[in-house]
Amino acid sequence: MMNIPDDADARRAVTPVICYPTDSLPRPDMTVLQAAAAAAQGVERVVVAPRDAAAIRVPAGSVLRISALDGPQVGDLNLFAADNLDERFYSGKTRALHGTHVTTGDRLWSSFPYLRPMATIVADTLGWYGIDQFGGSVHDVIGTRCDPYTGRLLAGVDYHQCCHSNLTRALADAAQLPLAQAERHVHDVLNVFMCTGFTRDTGQYFMKASPVRPGDYIDLFAEIDLLAVLSACPGGDCSAEHSSDTAACYPLVMERRVPQAGDLDGWVPPAVNAYDRSHGR
């Protein structure tokens, strides 16, 4: 029998405080970055096939545009420092700083000990979506990536076109690593275009049909030299299921866009985190 204290309601009524107020975070100059991104020209285009992944290198000061092509499709994105796979996207800290879902003005942060912005979101055609009546929103940093291990655990079958496996193969090719070595670098993703949340009654992770339509895009301004790896999730728009060949899947496009000369005057790439790493010793 559950022992409910007399002051249970009073304890629940305590007002929450924001864990990480972001007022003191260094602010990107959004006016400069957004103007530069708006005038940028596409110079390289990589199509990510459905149920597969692809990679692209995006030098600091350029823009990575991820767009939907033929139909509603969700993408699982990994980001690395182009010359150092040890510095990778840190979805947990990005979530702690910006919330469960990201949009224009938010930044994608890298792992310890680097902890600096890898990219700044400068455009998001799904920015209008906000938070729906179920608590769902778009572009989450709460999911992990669909993977064959959880599939084996829950369903007892092996499925090889999960985002984890797609990202592993694409990273192995891009970084010229054996598959097993590449797999160790694959990390929790930015769920591009995915619409997710947590149920209010049971706190469970949910997904629903993505509101993305062909032509929708998100622009990531590269703050450092990036290697981006994107999987077109086998869940398609993630309206019903993932980790199978059942859902309708569509390609995604990654486009590298270069700003006009002079448009980024005054902008400098962020340095790695200044903590001295002595850890009290």
- The binding site for Zn ion (CB under 5 A) comprises 76, 146, 163, 233
Contacts of 165 (CB under 8 A, 6+ apart): 147, 148
Give 99 or 148: the residue with its C-beta nearer to Zn ion.
148
- In angstroms, rounded to a whole number, what is the distance separating the alpha carbons of residues 88 and 185? 8
Q: How far is the CB of 123 from Zn ion (least distance, A)?
A: 24
Contacts of 205 (CB under 8 A, 6+ apart): 142, 143, 196, 197, 198
Q: How far is the CB of 157 from Zn ion (least distance, A)?
A: 16
Q: How far is the CB of 82 from Zn ion (least distance, A)?
A: 24
Q: How far is the CB of 229 from Zn ion (least distance, A)?
A: 13
Give 222 or 247: the residue with its C-beta nearer to Zn ion.
247
Question: Residues 221, 39: contact at Cβ < 8 Å?
Answer: no
Tokens of 98: 């910006």
Tokens of 17: 């405080």
Q: How far is the CB of 94 from Zn ion (least distance, A)?
A: 18
Give 60 or 163: the residue with its C-beta nearer to Zn ion.
163
Give 75 or 117: the residue with its C-beta nearer to Zn ion.
75
Q: Which of 265, 252, 166 is nearest to 212 (CA)?
A: 252
Give 143 or 259: the residue with its C-beta nearer to Zn ion.
143
Burial readout 111-134 (b: 16 or more C-beta within 10 A, e: otherwise): beebbbbbbbbbbbbbeebeeeee
